[in-house]
Chains A and B, each alone.
Chain A
Amino acid sequence: MSDSLALLLVPALPLAAFLLIFLVGRVYFPKFSGILGTVIMLATTVISMATAYKYFFVTGKVDGVYQHLIAFKFTWLPFSENVSIDMGAIMDPISMVMICVVTFISLMVHIYSLGYMKGEDRFAIYYSYLGLFTFSMLGLVLSTNIFQIYIFWELVGVSSFLLIGYYFDKPSAVAASKKAFIVTRFADAGFLIGILVLSYYTGTLDFETMIARLTVPGSELTAITTAGFLGVSALTWGLMLVFMGGAGKSAMFPLHIWLPDAMEGPTPVSALIHAATMVVAGVYLVARLFPIFAISCPVGLDVVAYIGVFSSMFAAIIACTQTDIKRVLAYSTMSQIGYMMFALGVAGYGGENGLGFTASFFHLFTHAMFKALLFLGAGAVIHYVHSNDMRDMGGLRKHMPVTHIAFLIACLAIAGVPGFAGFFSKEEILTAAHNSNPIIYWCAIATAALTAFYMFRLYFNIFWNKEYHAHHSDSHHGDDHHHGEAPWSMKAPLIILALLSIATGYIPFGNFVSSDGQALHSEFHLTSAILPVSLAIGAIIVAMLFYRKKNAVPDKIAGTIKGVYTGALHKFYIDELYLFVTKKLIFGIGGTIAAWFDKNVVDGVVNFSATVGENFSDTLKKMQNGKVQSYAMYFFTGVLGFVLLFVFLWDKF
């Protein structure tokens, strides 16, 4: 199979699954749709793995450097001679890694959902949406053109919208889906303007051409750096606006507010979209444009780094206080993406400087595994308990042993305990940060400790703490508790992912992904690992002390740092602030003014002129009093008027 055909099939198969299930399957074989989707997904996964394998080990490397290959490309929407939106597929290390991650996690979720979503009314729709999402995500990562990425960017946005709003009769789900879409849409508007800025100066939308023109000194680079607005060069504006899009999708502060709410969607969806794939699109986007950032716009990269690290810490603090297990995971996701983001931010182009780049993708890769695992595990728990709140849980380790072990592995991985995947990737990031920026480094260390703490807070609260008693008061959920832990379709992905959460750490990632395509051999410094690891283990111990058995310590501590605690519990009131600014200020006032203006001024003028016309008409009507003598008077007045005007006044003009 040729590369172009393979890469055409990779997004096309999920699309076919979507169309098939949405148009046909929904009506004719709703039950079978899940299997169908899963089979197609399996095929896609196999093809993409094979393609990636071929790329990494056979065709991709020329003279020790991984090439950017274009598998296929055609003009989709020509704007002018040179500028056009092309649809195509690019083959380079990051896109290959991404298609593997996306297809694999998607496959896991497909399998998992067979059990998790069983019996749902809109089972077929669910699978069709999964197909749509997978298609969009694959299209996104394979983009050769910045506008192509924008197109798929929007499509993943909408599939995320559809999946979050899957339980459409739940107002909270609807609200969450709207919020997710609108917030990312806002970010995308920035992205769009960024594209316009970049394409205007480079005269292209093609990634490779654009990167070439903006990294090698030339007329375009001169033009874009000299042009500016508000004292910032057009290049920085463009990149920052593009990054705004990335930040929106990757839930970076301050555009993160949608992510926790997005947990209203079905849990497997959260695993797929809001943990492993879509939310890392921002990281992918920055990575895609990395040469421009690194070579021509280091300021931009700094912004990326600081926003990344801030988001990371910010989210970690909030995660320590949340009780909804999915929200804890959501904040943890945000925190981990912040890690990836600042890893990119601290990286440079080429050689050892590019460690951050590699580390970022390494972390992206491992994070996809263990975070998906965490979500799927949480899903299994929720499936069992029928609640998202960790206060309803406790002592579940006996009830669901497989989930317990898998979840523990994932927690260990994310906490960065040596031997698990997360350890390796996190160490690389920390090394990269250490090499470049001490502030970021120390923040990252602190975050790592917090990560370990809240993850184990979660873990202990779910599986230890008090003994589990089913809440029979919750009557309509009552009888479901007889079904045991979970069906195999749910357990199998947990097991596979648990294994991978350990195994993926041992991949020599630098060999494959690096900022300039050349293999990067990072050395593992034991000394630098001591501090974060010990902090992590310390945090785990603290969490164990706090939450293994039910006790009053956490509350006491919360009491002593009341301000911070309440703030974090309420997510530092960012949501409220946004709500106020958007709903009250912008939409409220703007909308009210516009509507008022429309009703009273624009419409008012029209109606007023009608009224004036009618009044004028009424006045005129009074001339007509029905008396022939007054008519004669008007007549004669008219004659006199003309006489006055033309006989006496005419010459005066």
Chain B
Amino acid sequence: MSLSILIIIPLLTALAVIFCRNAEQVKWTSLFGSVAQLAVSGVMFFQYNALRKAGEVAQFVFEEKHTWFSFMNINYHIGVDGIAIAMILLTAFVVVAGVLVSWNVSHLTKEFYLLLVLLSTGAYGFFISLDLFTMFFFLELAVIPKFLLIGIWGSGNKEYSAMKLALMLMGGSALVLMGLLIVYFGSAASCGAPTYNLIEIASHRLDFSTQMFAFPFLFAGFGVFTAMFPFHTWAPDGHSSAPTAASMFLAGISMKLGGYGCLRVAVYLLPDAAHEYSWIVVLLSAIAIFYGSFATMMQKDLKYINAYSSVSHCGFVLLGIGMLTKTAITGAVMQMVSHGLMTALFFAAIGMIYERTHTRQVEKLGGLLKVIPFLSTIFVIAGLCSLGLPGLSGFVAEMTVFQGAWQRPETFYRLATILGCLSIVVTAVYILRASGKVIMGPIVDEHHTHLSDARWNEKLASVILLLAILAIGTAPFWLTDLLNPGSELIMNQLTAR
């Protein structure tokens, strides 16, 4: 199948949205587009599995390559492996849920959906790119929609957050750009001519000094996107100000761009540098994990809680990547998928609660289980997923990361892993604190006694995400089967010195 369809569908959807006449049409068009995308992603997943089963050994399948700027060796080059497919599936799920959750956006509905769809285009494009330029193109494509989504439809200190987010992400992509240029010109020595071709660069290993030079830029740059400590500060403000769907996209998809980039570009292309720098990565991610969870503890706003916990959870992604063992890398990708789904669900739940109660302050909420049982249940399940309850995706991913991380025998790495393990206790503390207050306990505000429970679209959105979470949580083997060849290749790259 043609992989470009993954970009074409959202673009067509966007085009159709532009020509829609009223809000209803816009919503249904977007829903249709996103569901179609989900279906295509699903088909792709099965086709991929079938190909692999049939003995396909190519690293990336469904490759497509068109010359874009021949002189600079820039190609529109796309293809996927298992990791990319996992990310695409994640995106597709979150997009459908995001579209459904935003069903009652009444202010500038058309623009809202247009930007959502554009944002998802960026994510899809990023995940399927095999050309660094194409990748960067899609990476930056996703920045501005976020700014507008937060700025126009956000709440609270939205201008500040939107600006901060846009500028920090731009800073991240500036660093990535530096790194890409270094890689590009560095590849001249190993590949014959400068190239952006990911496969080619990987197969002709870059020389050591280039790697060492480029790695900090690339890793820090992508690190900004994935809210790595200390570049995470856009995340809490951005998430909390964003409208529900945008929070879902931000935390569920956008932060994963960074993680995927770290893995696919920084680690895969610069394996020797990754070895050299891995202690820094591990140090930063261990700090992020622990620090994020402690910072979460002090938050009063539900979205801030989830935002900081996202910082902590994305720390696991980087921890897994930084450990440079196959299991840990698989775990990191699983954590990306899992966190994407889980945090999207969490933000959806928070958003739906906020829509009803008009507050996100923990102390102003209470006993919601009695009035809105469905939403409360979703909230609790998302929370439980966040704290790593078995049967839900978070557990599987975190355990894989831990298991992989423990394979590094050095004391420093062990301590980082132990810190990670202990952080799940802290996670439990803040999740239970929040849900204990918000969902359980007595009703605080008498206005909250007459809230209506979830509508069909909200239920559908939650259920879709929940199903994905359960699919990973109860039967993780399909995901590991999907991811393992990919992480094995990265591992080969890392071990072949």
A binding-site residues for B, Cβ under 8 Å: 75-80, 83, 85, 147, 150-152, 154-155, 158, 161, 165, 168-169, 171, 174-175, 177-178, 181-182, 185-186, 189, 192-193, 196-197, 199-200, 229, 587, 590-595, 597-598, 602-603, 605-606
User: Once bound together, how far apart are the Cα atoms of A193 and B419, in whole Å?
Assistant: 10
User: Once bound together, how far apart are the Cα atoms of A597 and B396, in whole Å?
Assistant: 31
B295 x A78 contact (CB < 8 A): no
Q: Which of A147, A151, A592 contacts B298 (CB 8 A)?
A: A592
Question: Quick check: is B395 within 8 A (CB to CB) of the other chain?
Answer: yes
B binding-site residues for A, Cβ under 8 Å: 164, 168, 229-230, 232-233, 236, 291, 294-295, 297-299, 326-327, 367, 369-370, 384, 387-391, 395-396, 399-400, 402-404, 406-407, 409, 411, 417-418, 421-422, 424-426, 428-429, 432-433, 436, 439-443, 475-477, 480, 484
Q: Give 8 closest A-B pairs by Cβ, nearest first.
A: A594-B294, A595-B298, A168-B440, A591-B297, A151-B390, A196-B406, A594-B295, A591-B298
User: Once bound together, how far apart are the Cα atoms of A182 and B429, in whole Å?
Assistant: 6
9 more CB-based (< 8 A) A-B contacts, given A587-B429, A602-B232: A76-B477, A155-B389, A155-B390, A165-B436, A165-B440, A182-B428, A189-B424, A594-B298, A595-B294
Q: Which of B297, B387, B388, B441 contacts A587 (CB 8 A)?
A: B297
A593 x B390 contact (CB < 8 A): no
Residues of A with C-beta under 8 A to B399: 77, 85, 147, 192
Chain B binding surface, main DSSP class: helix
Q: What residue in chain B is nearest A26 (Cβ atoms)?
A: B373
User: Once bound together, how far apart are the Cα atoms of A8 and B339, in whole Å?
Assistant: 31
User: Once bound together, how far apart are the Cα atoms of A171 and B367, in whole Å?
Assistant: 10
User: Once bound together, how far apart are the Cα atoms of A332 and B236, in whole Å?
Assistant: 47
Q: A182-B425, A193-B421 are in contact. Are A83 and B403 (CB under 8 A)?
A: yes
User: Once bound together, how far apart are the Cα atoms of A597 and B291, in whole Å?
Assistant: 9
A189 x B400 contact (CB < 8 A): no
Q: A77-B480, A594-B294 are in contact. Are A182 and B432 (CB under 8 A)?
A: yes
B233 x A602 contact (CB < 8 A): yes
Q: What residue in chain B is nearest A121 (Cβ atoms)?
A: B370
Residues of B with C-beta under 8 A to A79: 327, 400, 403-404
B233 x A598 contact (CB < 8 A): yes
Q: Which of A193, A591, A606 contacts B168 (CB 8 A)?
A: A606
User: Once bound together, how far apart are the Cα atoms of A200 and B413, in whole Å?
Assistant: 14
B441 x A171 contact (CB < 8 A): yes
A196 x B417 contact (CB < 8 A): yes
Q: How far is the CB of B97 from chain A (nearest CB, A)?
A: 20
Q: What residue in chain A is nearest B160 (Cβ atoms)?
A: A607
User: Once bound together, how far apart are the Cα atoms of A77 and B483, in whole Å?
Assistant: 12
B476 x A76 contact (CB < 8 A): yes
Residues of B with C-beta under 8 A to A229: 411
Q: Which of A77, A168, A200, A591 contacts B406 (CB 8 A)?
A: A200
User: Once bound together, how far apart are the Cα atoms of A80 and B436, in whole Å?
Assistant: 38
B476 x A606 contact (CB < 8 A): no
Q: What residue in chain A is nearest B391 (Cβ atoms)?
A: A155
Q: What residue in chain B is nearest A151 (Cβ atoms)?
A: B390
B233 x A169 contact (CB < 8 A): no
Question: Would you mind naming 8 contact pairs between A and B with Cβ atoms under 8 Å apart?
Answer: A80-B326, A151-B390, A189-B422, A229-B411, A592-B298, A595-B294, A595-B297, A606-B233
Residues of A with C-beta under 8 A to B299: 595
Residues of A with C-beta under 8 A to B369: 168
Residues of A with C-beta under 8 A to B480: 77-78
User: Once bound together, how far apart are the Cα atoms of A78 and B482, in whole Å?
Assistant: 12
User: Once bound together, how far apart are the Cα atoms of A151 and B404, in whole Å?
Assistant: 18
Q: What residue in chain B is nearest A78 (Cβ atoms)?
A: B480
